[in-house]
Structure 1
Amino acid sequence: MDHELSGRLTDTGHSLRVRVYFEDTDFSGVVYHARYLHFLERGRTDYLRLHGIGHRELMAGGFGEPMAFAVRRMEIDFLRPARIDDVLDVETRTTLLGGARVVLDQRILCEGAVLVEAKVKVAVISPDGRPRRMPKAVAERLGGPGDPSD
């Protein structure tokens, strides 16, 4: 695993650096609002990856029954724009581990200034989309006790 590509774990969670490319911007060189979702998704995915929780492994049943994470709710505050060639820091941290969900706080910063804040509620689901309990091994890797009640 290339940790440089996956960012790094921090004392509070995870940090991932991403560069803004032309494809991320609108005609004025400002990041198009929907592209922030891509940056946030990369942060969440690499946060899990560095905790030893890969999406393929989840779907293959590597932690018991096959499962996946699905975003159920997202609240986003767009505070300041990012621009072409900016280098952004995407920060991710777990704020709640429930029996079938994870709540994550995410921020996107540029040179220390907060551009975007997001609260993301992620559901644990089976391959057919039904809610399921989080396996103890997954919760433990994310810093929780495993199988807590919601």
Structure 2
Amino acid sequence: MNEQLAGRLTEFGHRLDVRVYFEDTDFSGVVYHARYLHFLERGRTDYLRLHGIGHRELMDGAFGEPMAFAVRRMEIEFLRPARIDDVLTVETRTALMGGARVVLDQRILKGEELLIEARVKVAVISPDGKPRRMPPAVAERLTPAPSTGEA
């Protein structure tokens, strides 16, 4: 695995740098609002990957029975726009764990400027879409780190 492609784990949780390409923007060069969902998804996927929880391994039953994560709820606050060629940082961290779900806090920044804040509730499901309890080995890897005072 090329860890540079997957970002890096930090005290906050995880950081992934992404560049804004032409395909991410509208006619004016501003990032189209739905494209932020792609950036956030990449951040969540690589956060899991660097914790040893790959989507393929989940479906192959590496933590017991085959399972997947599914987004159940997402709240996004669009604070400032990003533009073509900007380099953005997607931050992801576990906010809450419980039962069959994990709640992740995510932010997208341009340098120190906060552009997007999101809270994402993700459920564990079986391949046929039924809720499942979080396997202990997965929960252990995603348990929130003690607060460092960072927002």
Provide TM-score, normalisation by structure 2: 0.94
Superposition CA RMSD, Å: 0.7
Deviation at residue 2 of structure 1 after TM alignment: 0.6
Q: Which runs of 5+ in 2 are unaligned?
A: 145-151
Partner residue in 2 for 1:142: 142
User: Counterparts in 2 of 1:1-150, with a 5 A limit?
Assistant: 1-143=1-143
Using the TM superposition, name which of 37-46 and 135-144 deviates more: 135-144
Q: Distance in 2 between matches of 1:70 and 1:99?
A: 14
Q: Distance in 2 between matches of 1:142 and 1:94?
A: 6
Per-residue CA distance 1:92-145 (angstroms, 9 max, x = gap): 00000111000000000001100000000000000000000000000111126x
> Would you identify which runs of 4 or more consecutive aligned residues in structure 1 move more than 3 Å?
none
**Partner secondary structure for residue 77 of structure 1:** strand
**Partner secondary structure for residue 124 of structure 2:** strand
Q: Distance in 2 between matches of 1:110 and 1:79?
A: 12
Q: Percentage identity across aligned positions? A: 83
Q: Distance in 2 between matches of 1:22 and 1:124?
A: 34
Provide TM-score, normalisation by structure 1: 0.95
Number of corresponding residues? 144
Using the TM superposition, name which of 135-144 and 53-62 deviates more: 135-144
Q: Distance in 1 between matches of 2:122 and 2:52?
A: 18
